[in-house]
Amino acid sequence: MRIFKSERLDDREKGLEIIAKLKKENDKTLIIHYSCESFFNLEGRTPRVTSICIKNRGNNSTKTFSIHLQAQFHKKELCCISDDENNYLEKQMLKEFFDFLKKHQTYNWVHWNMRNSSYGFEAIANRFRILGGTVKEIEDQFKFDLPRNFKFDLYT
CATH at residue 77: 3.30.420
* Residue 5 forms part of a structural domain: no
What's the pLDDT at 153?
Answer: 52
Gap between the Cα atoms of 30 and 63, Å rounded = 10
What's the pLDDT at 150?
Answer: 64
Residue type, 75: K
Q: Which of 75, 68, 61, 115 is nearest to 93 (CA)?
A: 68
* Residue 156 forms part of a structural domain: no
* Residue 14 forms part of a structural domain: no
Domain of 55, in residue numbers? 25-38+45-149
* Residue 15 forms part of a structural domain: no
* Residue 69 forms part of a structural domain: yes
Q: What Cα–Cα distance (Å) separates residue 55 from each residue in 16, 34, 65, 88, 113?
A: 21, 12, 12, 25, 17
* Residue 1 forms part of a structural domain: no
What's the pLDDT at 1?
Answer: 54
* Residue 59 forms part of a structural domain: yes
Gap between the Cα atoms of 68 and 90, Å rounded = 9
* Residue 7 forms part of a structural domain: no
96 contacts 132 by C-beta, under 8 angstroms? no
Listed as ranges, residues in the chain with pLDDT below 70 are 1-2, 41-42, 149-156
pLDDT tens column, 64-86: 999 999 999 999 998 899 999 99
Domain count, the chain: 1
